[in-house]
Amino acid sequence: MTESPHIVQLDEANFMQVVVEGSDTVPVLVDFWAEWCGPCKALSPVLEKLAVEYNGAFVLAMLDTEAHPGIAQQLGIRSLPTVKLFRNRQLVDEFMGALPEAELRTFLETHVGAAAPEAEEPEEAASVAEQALAMHEAGQTSEARALLQQAQAAEPDDAEVLLALGQVCVAEGDLDTAQSCLKALPEESRDGAQGKRLAGIVALARESGATEDLGALQTAHSANPDDAETRYKLAIASALAGDVQSGMDHLLVLVQTQPDYNDGAPRTKLLSLFDVLGDDPLVGKYRRKLFAMLH
């Protein structure tokens, strides 16, 4: 948490003083979060940055709902992140989800006013693409896609947004849209490392066909780690979800323990992932591992 007199960590002992009594003097914005919540990790730093920038025009109060579930239950918190604004001991507004910084500023300006002009230059906030990928990693893939599509509509040539949207579409199995994202990339981005990686992932997805749910495969693998078919499917699904290194780790295990599985498919797919990574330093590392196993 950012060190600031305008940012307070809440618990049962200080909630009444900070939020209820404190809102008599200044608006209090309460951020309900949890360590496991990906969108929370995208939203909280932006809120902290704004609290510093507003320099006391409001107090940001952070409540870890895992550490203090009683308060969250009393206030009816059912999804994370949830943000509530209190003024004069009353709830005056709230929102759920990781809003972009521009919308957060609009929310604050409505209830608090504009930030003081003499405030320090704020640190750069997480981009829309970074926020969306955090949501995707937290299991909110459809919400992440909607956020990226909105951003792409506003800035059609934003390479960071197009690359993130392509990755999310591959995870959803929408390869046509992912291919469209590749085509829409500026030429220098399409020929760059991230563009080539996305192109390789799309090609791998088309070659591999539909995959099972990543979470279900992880559960099945944990229950039976010696099952080659499950490990192989998990390797492909992990790579398609963007975790290429985990996919290569699973394939290396199969090359070592069951090299003849599916007519040598683990080695073939591992070589395909090398092509996906291109000049990434991981390629050299894993090529040496593969060579050591085969010789």
- Pair 178, 85 in one domain: no
Closest CA to 240 of 208, 265, 264, 267: 208
State which of 157, 183, 208 marks the end of a domain: 208
Specify the pLDDT at position 142.
87
- Pair 204, 223 in one domain: no
- Pair 136, 178 in one domain: yes
Specify the pLDDT at position 119.
43
- Whether 118 is in a domain gets the answer no
- Whether 144 is in a domain gets the answer yes
> What global pTM score does this model have?
0.46
Specify the pLDDT at position 193.
79
CA 135 to chain CA centroid, Å, is 4
Q: Identity (one letter) of the amino acid at 133?
A: L
- Whether 121 is in a domain gets the answer no
User: How many domains does the chain contain in total?
Assistant: 3
- Whether 119 is in a domain gets the answer no
- CATH, residue 88: 3.40.30.10
Rounded CA gap, 186 and 104, in Å? 30
- Whether 116 is in a domain gets the answer no
- Pair 176, 219 in one domain: no
- Whether 1 is in a domain gets the answer no
- Whether 120 is in a domain gets the answer no
Q: How many CB atoms lie within 10 A of CB 265?
A: 18
- Pair 278, 189 in one domain: no
Specify the pLDDT at position 117.
59
- Pair 13, 103 in one domain: yes
State which of 111, 139, 161 marks the end of a domain: 111
- Pair 199, 169 in one domain: yes
- Pair 224, 197 in one domain: no
The whole domain housing 282 covers 214-294
Instruction: Write out the H or E segment, with its range, that includes residue 54.
Output: helix 38-54
- Pair 11, 106 in one domain: yes
Q: Backbone phi, then psi, for 173, in 5-degree steps?
A: 85, 10
72-103 exposure pattern, b = at least 16 Cβ within 10 A, e = fewer:
beebebeebbbbbbbbeeeeeeeeebbbbbee
- Pair 275, 259 in one domain: yes
User: Mind listing the pLDDT tens digit for each residue in 122-180?
Assistant: 555 678 899 988 888 787 888 999 999 999 998 899 999 999 999 899 888 898 999 99
Per-residue pLDDT of the chain (295 residues; tens, 9 = 90+): 678 889 999 999 999 999 999 999 999 999 999 999 999 999 999 999 999 999 889 999 999 999 999 999 999 999 999 999 999 999 999 999 999 999 999 999 999 988 765 544 555 567 889 998 888 878 788 899 999 999 999 889 999 999 999 989 988 889 899 999 999 999 999 888 788 888 888 877 887 665 567 788 899 999 999 999 999 989 888 887 778 889 899 999 999 999 899 899 899 888 888 877 777 788 889 999 888 887 7
- Pair 224, 247 in one domain: yes
Catalytic positions, written as ranges? 37, 40
User: Mind listing the pLDDT tens digit for each residue in 222-234?
Assistant: 999 999 999 998 9
- CATH, residue 230: 1.25.40.10
